Amino acid sequence: MAKGYWFLNLDVVNPVDYITYREANLAYARTHDLRFVIRGGDFEQLEGIKRHRNVLVELPSYDDALSLYNQPEYQRVRDLRRNTAIADLAAVEGYDGPQPSPAPPPEGTADHPRGYWMAKVDVTDPERYKDYVAANAEPLAEHGAWFVVRGGRNHLLEGHGRSRYVVIAFKDVATARACYFSPGYQKALAIRQEVSVADVIIISGYTGHEAAPV
């Protein structure tokens, strides 16, 4: 079964009190066996709207991503965040279909975290967008890419969202960046930018060490 995710982009407006939320959120995640894939890592904004902190939380399924958000226990945690940050949050479905690479990249370590693309997309020409999907296959395969999220079901829980969500894992940030700026992907990107609007970042994965809440 495909995993579910909370896809979160936010701006912290009260860093001191945000720490209280962050600790409560971590405790909630541990209690419910949720995994942080991304948790405020260093990132590079490549396209679109920028938020200053980005998080991806893995849940057992898309249905869990919807239901846990509405539990009273989590609502108390959410209220702490709402008092300290402005957030865009969506529940999104993970991807379990064919991949561009034969295996996922190694799990990250503190010294060598994975790199990720996080993207939110509004497609204006679905038929032409298929040409982009076909064109990106080769450069993604060349760089060992692995889809975590790829346009599955999504539901906006807070703030502003887009109609399509994508998360792609690479062995490290350098590889994620090399793929994006490769000649092959730049050709695919030209197609995508003709037929969609996107917010895209490259970001380091979470390995137990979190960036400051700014």
Predicted structure pTM score: 0.94
**Degrees, nearest 5: CA angle 2-78-87:** 80
Q: Is the distance from CB of 2 to CB of 165 less than 8 angstroms? A: no
The answer to the question of residue 105 being in a domain is no
pLDDT in tens, the chain (214 residues): 899 999 999 999 999 999 999 999 999 999 998 999 999 989 999 999 999 999 999 999 999 999 999 999 999 999 999 999 999 999 999 999 999 999 999 998 888 999 999 999 999 999 999 999 999 999 999 999 999 999 999 999 999 999 999 999 999 999 999 999 999 999 999 999 999 999 999 999 998 765 444 3
The two tokens of residue 147 are: 């889809």
The CATH number of residue 45's host domain is 3.30.70.100
The answer to the question of residue 104 being in a domain is no
Pairwise CA distance, residues 170 & 162, whole Å: 23
Structural domain range at position 190 = 4-97+110-204
The answer to the question of residue 50 being in a domain is yes
**207: Cα within 13 Å, side-chain hemisphere:** 15
